[in-house]
Amino acid sequence: MGSFLRRKKFLSTDLRVPVSFSLPCFYAFIPTFLERFKLTHEGLQVLSKHKAMISSVQERDPVSPVRGLTLGEPTTVWRNVNHPALPNRLRDLSWLVAHEVLSVRSVMHSRRLSLTATCPRPGCGAPESVRHLLWECSAARDQWATAGTLQFPYLPAGEVLTAQLVLYGVGLSPTTPKKDFTRIWLTLAAIKDAMWTSRNLLVGKHMQIPPVAVIRKAAATVSETVAAGGGP
């Protein structure tokens, strides 16, 4: 990379130390990478910082669409996925949910990794999609009904709690304070994580976890994250 920057006259050559003017063969990917992502004409501020390079590339790409959302909302979804209040585990889960690639049975069945696409909950029988797991299934509805304002004071109740808010973090009033949204989004992410853990215990170990235990686990996750100061 230093050789490339010197050729661009971004870095001066110091003849008092050894200098490589030609890239070894195993660094040949660097010019290819820079050309592929149209970075060859960027300045030193971008080319010398990997985060600046990533941001420069990301800003040029169109925002990935999210099913069922209006034109401007996907930008908010991807910002919520990487919300600074979420630890890495909840960020990963949010990313998988937004892409609808969480390893539920319908996803695994479409890739020939599961014999069935049916929800594992006894008596359900519907295809287990990400939306079904976290919102539409009767087990999911019981868990959301259990997650009241007593355990989570900042969680919206009643008709305010929608699938878009639960899955993607969109749909709240634009006047909602940023601090309140942070608490709501952390709570929703923790509940989804507990629901996913409960589902995996059912599939892997045939353990039926009652809704109240799922919500207690989510409350513990929120408390631990807040105590740790949030973030990864």
Residue 218's Cβ-count burial label (10 Å; 0-12, 13-18, 19+) is buried
Q: What count of other Cβ atoms lies within 10 Å of the Cβ of residue 5? A: 14
- For the chain, what is the domain count? 2
162 occurs within a structural domain = yes
Backbone phi and psi for residue 159, each to the nearest 5 degrees, phi listed first? -70, -10
pLDDT (tens digit per residue) in 38-92: 888 888 888 888 888 888 887 776 666 676 676 667 888 888 999 999 999 999 9
Question: What per-residue confidence (pLDDT) applies to 23?
Answer: 56
Of the pLDDT bands very low, low, confident and very high (cuts 50, 70, 90), residue 17 is low
Average pLDDT, the chain: 85
Pair (23, 46) in one structural domain: yes
Torsion angle in degrees (nearest 10) through CA of 72, 77, 78, 81: 170
Residue 200's Cβ-count burial label (10 Å; 0-12, 13-18, 19+) is middle
Residue type, 153: P
Pair (104, 216) in one structural domain: yes
Pair (131, 193) in one structural domain: yes
Question: What per-residue confidence (pLDDT) applies to 208?
Answer: 93
**Boundary-marking domain end, from 39, 60, 81:** 60
Q: What is the mean pLDDT of residues 178-191?
A: 94
Bridge partners, 181 (sequence order): none
**Lowest-confidence segment of 14-28, 29-43, 95-109, 203-217 by average pLDDT:** 14-28
pLDDT (tens digit per residue) in 133-179: 999 999 999 999 888 766 787 887 655 788 999 999 988 888 889 99
Residue type, 76: T
pLDDT (tens digit per residue) in 80-125: 999 999 999 999 999 999 999 999 999 999 999 999 999 999 999 9
Question: What per-residue confidence (pLDDT) applies to 25?
Answer: 66
**Boundary-marking domain end, from 13, 33, 60:** 60
**How many whole angstroms separate alpha carbon 220 and alpha carbon 186?**
12
Q: What is the mean pLDDT of residues 20-42?
A: 75
In this structure, what token pair is assigned to residue 142? 């019981």
Q: Which domain holds residue 13?
A: 2-60
Q: Write down the H helix ranges in the chain.
A: 2-7, 29-36, 44-47, 50-60, 73-81, 88-99, 105-110, 130-131, 138-146, 163-168, 178-205, 211-227
